Amino acid sequence: MGGGLGFGGILQIAWRAILGNPLRSALTALGVIIGVAAVIALTALGTGSTKGVTDNLENLGTNLLTVSSQRARFGGAGGGLVRGAPSSSVTLADAQAIQTQLGSEIAGLAPTDGRGVQAKAGSTNTQAQVQGTWPSYETVRNATPELGEFFTQADVDGRKRVAVIGYQVAQDLYGDSQSALGQPIRLDTTTFTVVGVMPDKGATGFQSPNAQVYVPLSTYQQRLGRGTAVRGSRTVGNIYIQGASQQGLTQLQQDVTDLLARLHDTPDPSSYDFTIQNQADALASLNATTTTLTLLVGAIAGISLLVGGIGIMNIMLVSVTERTREIGVRKALGARPGDILTQFLVEAFVLSVGGGVLGILLGFGLAFLGRLANITPVFTVTPVLAAFVFSALVGIFFGYYPAARAARLDPVESLRYE
């Protein structure tokens, strides 16, 4: 064993020391492996989950405002619940007024009203959510049929009994989408003709887009609706408004608020019987929540890395004690304190970096398990690099003290050590 070795020789000695006790080396790096894997997996799953929700929101329409009734509100001198508001206060006349007076600010508008029904075809039936709406719903809510076409304004004007059905409704009633076109479908007691079938939206459940049936609003109100008249107009459940631009969405929201306040004769915001939801606000809130959760995950993983660093330091201190005589021999043969320091620092560095690499691989594997929960992981370079660099810094930081202690050992005392 030489005294003063080059970096290649020092690296070789460090590598032999690590391989000399593989189980202890693996356990030493375990904290770093777990920390890095947690960063990679949780960040990828969090980003993938956020992207999935964002894509779903965007698939339902971009630059979107949703006007709906505020069925009950808080107010009054005591801050109690104000009763007596109508079950629905948003009307078809409101939608027509928005379209007429704010038409230059909007790209599309679609009022809707809906309820659950039993859909039947022959002897087969399924539960569906029927929505009465306008043809503009197709563009406002990104609801273009995969087969056939959406109903037209002529269908609305003529109160035609035509329907566009969701993917799952087609599967349940007809076996496949192609077979559904042109077929009759019975919604409660009224028979409609299927003119379009929506694509698979990848969602399940009664309220999912796959379980929807779209019919002309005029037909719905005549044959299926249960709405009442308010201010001389039939009520609707929601009014979806697509802004002309993302930048003007906030101003459009304020203009719609002011218009409805006048139409409903509710000048005081505390007396509004309607609400307006801004899709951009929902996305911003989602992004803020995601950022907070990402920071929390990073902090937890950071703690794991620190624990792993402490483990490296402890094992390296034990290693220095076990190899005291070796250190003495190297110094006696001419090794300088800097050579000893470098040797043990390299060992700690290799352990932490090796743990970082294994943690990255494990993190990728764990992230792909998220597919079992229908979450597609999204990997980005930043967290991978950050985790790897941090693992390397952990090795240097926590490995320095044992390395410095080894470098300070007296060669004579070291040679006498048993």
**Domain hosting residue 375, numbered range:** 7-56+285-416
Q: Are residue 76 and residue 22 in the same domain, yes or no?
A: no
Residue 343 lies in a domain: yes
| Domain boundary residue, one of 272, 295, 322 | 272
Residue 267 lies in a domain: yes
> How distant is the alpha carbon of residue 149 from its chain centre?
32
pLDDT of residue 154: 96
Residue 279 lies in a domain: no
pLDDT of residue 60: 60
Contact, 90 vs 235, CB < 8 A? Answer: yes
Q: Are residue 94 and residue 209 in the same domain, yes or no?
A: yes
pLDDT of residue 78: 36
Q: Are residue 106 and residue 42 in the same domain, yes or no?
A: no
Q: Are residue 253 and residue 140 in the same domain, yes or no?
A: yes
Q: Are residue 224 and residue 305 in the same domain, yes or no?
A: no
- Tell me the C-alpha distance between 239 and 90, whole Å: 8
**Per-residue DSSP letter, 91:** B
- Tell me the C-alpha distance between 48 and 33, whole Å: 22
pLDDT of residue 204: 56
Q: Are residue 151 and residue 293 in the same domain, yes or no?
A: no
Q: H or E element: which one contains 170?
A: helix 167-174
Q: Are residue 23 and residue 84 in the same domain, yes or no?
A: no
- Tell me the C-alpha distance between 256 and 233, whole Å: 18
Beta carbons within 8 Å of 304's beta carbon, 6+ residues apart: 31, 34, 35, 38
Contact, 315 vs 28, CB < 8 A? Answer: yes
- Tens digit of pLDDT per residue, the chain (418 long)? 444 556 666 677 677 777 777 787 777 778 788 888 888 888 888 788 777 777 766 666 568 899 998 754 444 333 333 444 446 789 999 999 999 999 899 999 999 999 999 999 999 999 999 999 999 999 999 899 999 999 999 999 999 999 999 999 999 999 998 999 999 999 999 999 999 999 998 765 556 889 999 999 999 999 997 667 777 788 899 999 998 887 888 899 999 999 999 999 888 888 888 999 887 777 777 777 777 877 777 777 777 777 777 877 877 777 777 777 777 777 777 777 777 787 778 888 888 888 889 989 998 988 888 777 777 888 888 888 888 888 888 878 887 877 787 777 766 665 665 5
Residue 80 lies in a domain: yes
Residue 388 lies in a domain: yes
Closest CA to 411 of 296, 284, 326: 326
Q: Are residue 262 and residue 173 in the same domain, yes or no?
A: yes
Q: Burial code of 363-390, b = ≥16 C-beta within 10 A, e = fewer?
A: bbebbeebeeeebebbbeeebbebbbeb
**Per-residue DSSP letter, 202:** S
pLDDT of residue 248: 85
Residue 157 lies in a domain: yes
| Domain boundary residue, one of 272, 296, 319 | 272
* pTM listed for this prediction: 0.63
Residue 325 to residues 2, 88, 321, Cα–Cα distance (Å): 14, 86, 9
Q: Are residue 24 and residue 106 in the same domain, yes or no?
A: no
pLDDT of residue 73: 42
Q: Take residue 72 and report the two structure tokens written for it.
A: 């009950």
Q: Cite the beta strand spans of 189-284 per DSSP E.
A: 190-197, 212-216, 229-230, 233-234, 238-243, 274-278
Q: Are residue 75 and residue 218 in the same domain, yes or no?
A: yes
Q: Are residue 144 and residue 84 in the same domain, yes or no?
A: yes
Q: Are residue 179 and residue 326 in the same domain, yes or no?
A: no
Residue 383 lies in a domain: yes
Residue 322 lies in a domain: yes
| Total number of domains constituting the chain | 2
| Domain boundary residue, one of 220, 249, 272 | 272
